[in-house]
Amino acid sequence: MIFLDAAATTPVRREVLEAMWPYLTGEFGNPSSHHSLGESAAAALAGARASVARALGCRPGELTFTSGGTEADNLAIKGIALARQAADPRLKRILISAIEHPAVEESARYLERFHGFTVDVAPVDGTGLVTPEAFAGCLHPGTAVASVMYANNEVGTVQPVAALAALAHGLDIPFHTDAVQAAGWLPLDTKALGVDAMSISGHKLGAPKGCGVLFVRSRTRLEPLLHGGGQERGRRSGTENVAAAVGLATALTMAKAGQPERSGHVAALRDGFIAAVLAGVPGAVRTGHCSERLPSVASFCFPGTSGESVLLDLERQGVVCSSGSACAAGSDAPSPVLTAMGFPDAVAQTAVRFSFDATVTAGDLATAAEAVARAVAGVRSLGSA
């Protein structure tokens, strides 16, 4: 099998599992306990937090471990908006982009339904880019929080996050970015990016599913969503998943090491794959930006097919990929990301995403490109029969 769906999830890396193992077995203490087992768990958690802080260029106290990217996004959007509204009731708006992951979009919609906020949506251009001009036009003195993802999970477009954050700061608006797909491929230094909050998920990086982290800059107010024993400095109650935190820290540290070289290497393979698919499939359209894109994502529309049929054919040929995001898998509805980019519904329904991890090879991608040409031709011939 050639696995080209790494944006959906990745296997746990051996080094990550080995780092976690002690905290799942002998060192199983609760970090809040005052005996030696508890103290050693608390030390492991503190060590993990310090490693993540080094990877993200922030202070350990600015990090909250969560159950994944979805929880980190919920905590950022709801937690910042509710805290700011409590301090100043005139702050009643939330600004997101038109191509956010549902974890951000639905958090904003929840605030609209139950807390009287209005959601403003910054449009994207045909490449999936939120231009600074479009973003600036949607900022408002009453915006409580703005959120634009670092890199899109369906088409891989990378946003000018530092420029957008600076525009938000011009109106004293905190800026959050969902960096779940960017992690491992793009620089994650929170100071250089200028963001006030940033979400990361473990399972895109070789850590297990169900762990993540939210960075929130120290001067940013945050209302907790989970109430209880006051763990994570009161920001996220619940006994901490020590092993997962250690795993996430190990994966992030490994991802940071050699990142520019790895990204350059995979981007070159990606470009070769895109060229091979465009050459082999008449009418194929690359989606997303030509250069501002994740090294790990190649995405297309194949007019005259259905994305789901192409996927099934590819899987029969041993190539596993996805029609867009894993969250929308199995649905024939056109991708909201592609429709926001201006693709007609009938074309958006033909989307296929290939996403790589660092182990991908030129040989795998050459084989996959040939399989894509066969799959699309086969589906088209069935359609016209």
Q: Would you tell me which residues interact with ligand PLP (CB under 6 A)?
A: 68-70, 73, 101, 103, 149, 153, 178, 180-181, 201, 203, 212, 326
Q: Which is nearer to ligand PLP, 58 or 211 (CB)?
A: 211
Q: Which is nearer to ligand PLP, 180 or 365 (CB)?
A: 180
* Shortest distance, position 35 Cβ to ligand PLP, whole Å: 33
Exactly one of 58, 301, 321, 327 is catalytic; name it: 327
* Shortest distance, position 123 Cβ to ligand PLP, whole Å: 19
Q: Which is nearer to ligand PLP, 51 or 181 (CB)?
A: 181
* Shortest distance, position 275 Cβ to ligand PLP, whole Å: 26
| Residue whose C-beta lies closest to ligand PLP | 69
* Shortest distance, position 233 Cβ to ligand PLP, whole Å: 22
Q: Which is nearer to ligand PLP, 338 or 369 (CB)?
A: 338
* Shortest distance, position 198 Cβ to ligand PLP, whole Å: 11
Q: Which is nearer to ligand PLP, 243 or 284 (CB)?
A: 243
Q: What are phi and psi of 351, to 5 degrees?
A: -75, 140
Of 269, 298, 321, 315, give the one whose Cα is nearest residue 5. Answer: 321
Give catalytic status of residue 301 as yes or no: no
* Shortest distance, position 303 Cβ to ligand PLP, whole Å: 26
Q: Which is nearer to ligand PLP, 164 or 371 (CB)?
A: 164
Q: What are phi and psi of 315, to 5 degrees?
A: -65, -35
The residues pairing with 290 across neighbouring beta strands, listed in sequence order, are none
CA distance 157 to 200: 17
Give the residue numbers annotated as catalytic, written as ranges.
Answer: 327
